[in-house]
Amino acid sequence: MSYALEISNLKKIYANNIVALNGIDLKVQEGDFFALLGPNGAGKSSTIGIVGSLVNKSSGSVKIFDIDIDDNFSEAKRLLGVVAQEVNFGNFEKVIDIVVTQGGYYGIPLREALIKAENVMKRLGLWDKRNDQARTLSGGYKRRLMIAKALIHEPKLLILDEPTAGVDIELRREMWQFLKEINDSGTTIILTTHYLEEAEQLCKNIAIIDHGEIVENTSMKDLLSRLDVQGFVLDLNKPINEAPIIDGFPMRLDDPTTLVAAVSKDKNINELFKLLSEKSIQVNSMRNESNRLEELFIEMVKR
């Protein structure tokens, strides 16, 4: 099995003796779209920082496409693109210069870097802004610029640390589509995010990190299948005074026309509608109570 990223017993202890990573193991297969989730301070950015050479590891090993970063970090870095959480470019430089210069740091000759920059910037909708000073860009365009920089050398592994933080919904959807295309074309993607919907929509596999340890590492499908109960919000066509009592379907009334029902995996939702109908309660519309992954996530990091 070929791994894009293989982390073994990775530890990071900061100078103030804070243990950020307590010997984590992680494997990401080539071609995967992988989510690394965790609450603030769990160790996500430390992990990404070590892989991207922004943070020194205390011990353990990191391999990128079988290249140990301790043996040949330069070669490993050529295969890697990193989109950091914080903006990390010169604010007074022109957008095109930032992207071309990043290509130059990877050893790409100027003429070739200009062609590559044009391609990636056009794909990201950034080409019209090429002559603007970076500081004049909106938050969304700054994010695009960060991604363009990370893709200029066509990495085989792209790591994004909360790429859609603070980005509006429309741009977030556009970026999801772009990342899916990149992944479909063969680039392995590792994503950290606070938007659990984002991980659920995009990622095939997932690891959850908490207090510097991996508490879960599985496929998204497997994780979601562990949900025993789902909550459904039912909008009623007429107000009622109290939640009906129906055996096997615990319910609560949020307001006179909003009923929330818990439906376990072994129950059929049609059965619920039938029983409600027998009690003369008609449902106009229905939606999930909350993000499904969120429930699992909260449960796991609470342990």
Residues near other proteins (CB under 8 A) are 14, 49, 52-56, 73-75, 77-78, 80-82, 84, 86-92, 97, 101-102, 104-110, 149
CB of 259 to other proteins, least distance (A): 50
Question: What totals of helices (H) and strands (E) does the chain contain, helices first?
Answer: 10, 14
Burial 188-223 (b: 16+ CB within 10 A, else e): bbbbbbebbebbbebbebbbbbbebbbebbeebeeb
CB of 110 to other proteins, least distance (A): 8
String of DSSP letters for 140-151: HHHHHHHHHHHH
* CA distance linking residue 278 with residue 281, whole number of Å: 7
Q: Which helix (H) or strand (E) holds 21?
A: strand 19-29
In the bound state with other proteins, the residue whose beta carbon lies nearer, of 62 and 296, is: 62
In the bound state with other proteins, the residue whose beta carbon lies nearer, of 105 and 274, is: 105
* CA distance linking residue 11 with residue 182, whole number of Å: 31
In the bound state with other proteins, the residue whose beta carbon lies nearer, of 84 and 207, is: 84
CB of 236 to other proteins, least distance (A): 52
- The C-alpha R_g of the chain, in whole angstroms, comes to 23
CB of 274 to other proteins, least distance (A): 58
Q: Report the chain's terminal Cα–Cα distance, integer Å.
A: 32
How many C-beta atoms surround the C-beta of residue 185 within 10 A? 8
CB of 241 to other proteins, least distance (A): 58
CB of 77 to other proteins, least distance (A): 4
Angular region, 227: left φ>0, alpha ψ -120 to 50, beta rest? beta
In the bound state with other proteins, the residue whose beta carbon lies nearer, of 110 and 269, is: 110
Q: Which two tokens stand for residue 56?
A: 């020194």
Distances 172 to 146, 166, 179, 196, 252 between C-alpha atoms, Å = 14, 9, 10, 13, 34
CB of 139 to other proteins, least distance (A): 16
In the bound state with other proteins, the residue whose beta carbon lies nearer, of 88 and 237, is: 88
